[in-house]
Amino acid sequence: MAIFKGAGVAMATPMKEDGSINFDAMEKMIEYQIRNHTDAIIAVGTSGEASTLDDDEHLEAIRFCVEITKGRVPVIAGTGSNNTAHAIMMSREAEKRGADGLLLVTPYYNKATQDGLIASYTAIAEAVNIPCIMYNVPSRTGTNIQPETAAYIGKHVKNIVALKDACGNISQTARTLELCDGVLDLYSGNDDQIVPIMSLGGSGVISVLSNVAPQFTHDMCQKCLDGDFSGAAKMQLGSLALIRALFCEVNPIPVKAALNMMGFDAGKPRLPLTEMTEEHQASLRAAMKNFGIL
């Protein structure tokens, strides 16, 4: 059961000058996304600075996204944790607030075994009634969901329906798709690999790029879904300079700077993340101008 196909935005969480969530800016960002045909909104994931929001803020951001979106596109809530009990609590609370699905990052820092990943994901999924997406991003968590593990979970846990794959290893991604054999939808977690992954059977992307270029990212995915991989490849290659600029510092530092340049009042990231350097801001601004955003 696909939660969505195409381009879901890994939405940044805008902040006021005092560091609190800027809900007025969030509403404007959500409306901009929907107006430009984003296929899903992923709230309070990595790009949304989940790691530095307290639980009340985190859940209020999810509730607000659901309220403003009004069912026009799915809202997928980031509720993963390195503490399985905490992930269960947050997942249940997100479900109560109307989330259409959950994004569950692998436990970070603990470095769980593959058996531990199976047990943790199973426990979280069995505690809720909405579909779940596993999130594999070993560069940030130190834990890698092996293809065999993803396939086992997909075949044995009914409401784990997808994998966000940011492993960066296209051979691993291909092996995962081979072993899953359709039991999991697979979304690219890297904006520079959208078309390669969709050409292997991926369902779309959970995208940082979509924060600033939602229509473009949607259209690139739609070309893949329509079988126009030549056209999609041209778009992918044409977006690489902007993608590099959006990742020249750790996400979401650059995308918040980009949103500020676009007038969305995204504010600063919370510590330990800092504002983008002036040199990188200049490079990002140039990339956005070349892309036609500014």
Upstream peptide bond of 196 is cis (omega within 30 degrees of 0): no
Q: Residue 106: how many CA atoms within 13 Å on its side-chain side?
A: 30
Among the options 5, 164, 223, 256, which is catalytic?
Answer: 164
CA diameter of the chain: 49
For residue 135, indicate whether it is catalytic. Answer: yes
Instruction: Quote the strand ranges of the chain, DSSP E.
Output: 6-10, 40-43, 75-78, 101-105, 132-136, 160-165, 185-188, 204-207
For residue 121, indicate whether it is catalytic. Answer: no
Q: How many Å from the N-terminal Cα to the C-terminal Cα in the chain?
A: 38
Q: What count of other Cβ atoms lies within 10 Å of the Cβ of residue 232?
A: 23
Task: Measure the CA–CA gap between 53 and 79, rounded to whole angstroms.
Answer: 12
Backbone phi, then psi, for 10, in 5-degree steps?
Answer: -85, 85
Among the options 135, 152, 187, 223, which is catalytic?
Answer: 135
Upstream peptide bond of 272 is cis (omega within 30 degrees of 0): yes
Residues forming the active site? 135, 164
